Amino acid sequence: MPPSLDRLRRDAKALHRAHAAGMSDARDRLRAHPPRPEGTGLRHADYLHVIAQEQGFESWPRLVFAAETIGLDRAGRQQALKRALFHGRNWQVDRLLAETPDLAAGLFGLEVALLDRAAVERRLAQDPAAATREAGPRRPILHLAFSRRIQAAPERRADMLAIAGLLLRHGADVNDAMPAAPGSTGRLSALYGALGHAGNLPLAEWLLAQGADPNDGESLYHATELGHHDGLKLLMRHGVRVAGTNALARMLDFDDLEGARLLLDYGADPGEGLPALHHAARRMRDGRFARLLIAHGADPARRWQGHSAYGLARIFGNAAFSEALAAAGHATPLDASETALAACAGGAPGASLASLPLGPEDRLLIARLIQFPGRLAHAKALAAAGLDPNAADETGLTPLQLAGWSGLPAAVDWLLACGPDLLHRNAYGGGIVETILHGAENAPRPEGADHAACLRAVLAAGAPVAPGLAQAATDPELADLLEARRPAGLSSPR
């Protein structure tokens, strides 16, 4: 039974009282759905805004309109369907449509995202301007590009491309884009939606063939994350520029030698921006990467954050990388700080770090290492030598969040014993639970990764769960864990 408007108004008043009393759960709910900049005085309407967003609506007025026109039950299901299509939760899409087959009827954005060719043809025959009119938060071609429905329904490829053609013939722009976040000046293009967000190569190829700009500031970077090289090669065939991007650095985040070679052969400069040799060392790439980068012009004598590439590899315990550099004649003497840090790589703390002149990057070494399998003993040794196991990186991600994102339960268990702030939110707005959910969907899956075990551990430790998070989980097991944690009596959107 969906909550009534009166019930939701009472929920807003209760939230207001809890927030005024300084209750941590209320503060966390406002952090998850900020109605206005932090530190600004809040009014009753702001708490209604939070309640509406927890129910899956953009604002309280939109929730009220939905309640008064089609009822909150159907409206809530439609909002859930929109989110599931965008985030690729196709199991939720299937369940919602099985329960309510006509759920998308009359909502053009949903009909496009569901690849319903017949419905799109009917609508455009009656209302040609619908092809370029915003349908909810974005225009129809963006609904198509950001939909992940094709992953569950590859047999609809012809329908998808036919819909794209219909929209184009009725005035849609293949270079259309939407704000990266409400109020943001950053833009996410249709090409990025198809290629980087949805992994939809056929639609990305169609967009490029129709004139989409490959240099949209996002698509090349995210093409490195696909787990194959087809997206990169597609962009290269259409003249994408690699200079001035961080695509090479992103590729080096993965153990993909051929992907790195592809970018270097295409013209990526290993000395531009963050030095690629140093980045490969700290991302635990092996000696093949060192040799490849040097062959393409990387300077092994260059220093970054006070370290040579060899020194950084030693600090990170990346023996394969440092040995390759040494074999090529590029070993450098270690200073006192490097010697003490490198001594921890074997799992036993060396000299105390308290009196040594460590740089900012050195102090983040636990955060850098903890996301890699097999580095827990190294991280523990660093903590024993004096590094802070709760020090967040430049994006506000704590070691606990990084271990949870990577799905490493042993690291999560250790860090939970180090007294972390379970209410901490990183620069992306996520707490520990949201970060684990994001990692379950996006992180590489090394052997032993178990995001469910990580989630159980942080929930048992008292990590807060914002309402509606169960609907954000792409993994049904994680969704069930969060749903079981939902406080009794708290309404939850479908």
pLDDT of residue 72: 60
| pLDDT digits 0-9 by tens, 272-307 | 999 999 999 999 999 999 999 999 999 999 999 999
pLDDT of residue 9: 86
Work out the pLDDT band at 349, boundaries 50, 70, 90. Answer: confident
User: What's the fold here for domain 246-334?
Assistant: 1.25.40
Q: What is the mean pLDDT of residues 302-331?
A: 97
Q: C-alpha angle with apex 226: 86 to 93, nearest 5 degrees? A: 25
Work out the pLDDT band at 446, boundaries 50, 70, 90. Answer: confident
pLDDT of residue 35: 82
Gyration radius from the chain CA atoms: 25
Enter the pTM of the model. Answer: 0.83
Q: Give the position of tokens 């006509």.
A: 102
pLDDT of residue 494: 40
Is 195 a residue whose pLDDT tops 80?
Answer: yes
pLDDT of residue 421: 95
pLDDT of residue 39: 62
Query: For residues 485 and 268, what is the distance between their CA atoms, to the nearest angstrom?
Result: 47
Distances (CA, A) of 3 to 150, 467, 469: 33, 14, 18
* 308 beta partners: 303
Q: What is the mean pLDDT of residues 450-472?
A: 89
| pLDDT digits 0-9 by tens, 398-428 | 999 999 999 999 999 999 999 999 999 999 8
Closest CA to 67 of 83, 51, 84: 51
Which CATH homologous superfamily contains domain 365-494? Ankyrin repeat-containing domain (1.25.40.20)
Alpha helix segments (H runs only) across 256-308: 257-266, 276-282, 287-295
Share of the chain above pLDDT 70, in %: 95
The lowest-confidence range among 78-82, 114-118, 284-288, 386-390 is 78-82
Q: What are the structure tokens assigned to 39, written together?
A: 């530190």
pLDDT of residue 473: 78
pLDDT of residue 113: 96
pLDDT of residue 69: 58
Is 490 a residue whose pLDDT tops 50?
Answer: no
pLDDT of residue 71: 61
Is 373 a residue whose pLDDT tops 60?
Answer: yes
pLDDT of residue 492: 43
| pLDDT digits 0-9 by tens, 173-187 | 999 999 987 777 889
pLDDT of residue 489: 40
In the DSSP assignment, the letter for residue 189 is E
Q: What is the mean pLDDT of residues 461-489?
A: 78
Alpha helix segments (H runs only) across 57-210: 60-69, 72-87, 90-99, 108-113, 117-126, 140-146, 157-169, 190-192, 201-209
Query: For residues 240 and 227, what is the distance between their CA atoms, to the nearest angstrom?
Result: 19
Closest CA to 404 of 365, 363, 359, 457: 457
Task: Decide which of 207 and 4 is more confident.
Answer: 207
Q: What is the mean pLDDT of residues 247-263?
A: 97
Q: What is the mean pLDDT of residues 325-342?
A: 96
Share of the chain above pLDDT 90, in %: 68
Is 25 a residue whose pLDDT tops 80?
Answer: no
Q: Give the position of tokens 């794209």.
A: 164
Task: Decide which of 220 and 479 is more confident.
Answer: 220
Query: For residues 388 and 126, what is the distance between their CA atoms, to the nearest angstrom?
Result: 63
Query: For residues 120 and 167, what is the distance between their CA atoms, to the nearest angstrom?
Result: 9
| pLDDT digits 0-9 by tens, 27-81 | 878 877 888 776 667 888 888 888 888 877 777 877 776 676 556 677 778 888 8
Mean pLDDT of the chain: 91
Q: What is the mean pLDDT of residues 316-339?
A: 97
Domain positions in the chain are 190-241, 246-334, 365-494
Q: What is the mean pLDDT of residues 198-222?
A: 98
pLDDT of residue 2: 64
* Amino acid at position 238, single letter: H
Identical fold at 246-334 and 365-494? yes
Task: Decide which of 413 and 446 is more confident.
Answer: 413
pLDDT of residue 493: 42
Is 100 a residue whose pLDDT tops 70?
Answer: yes
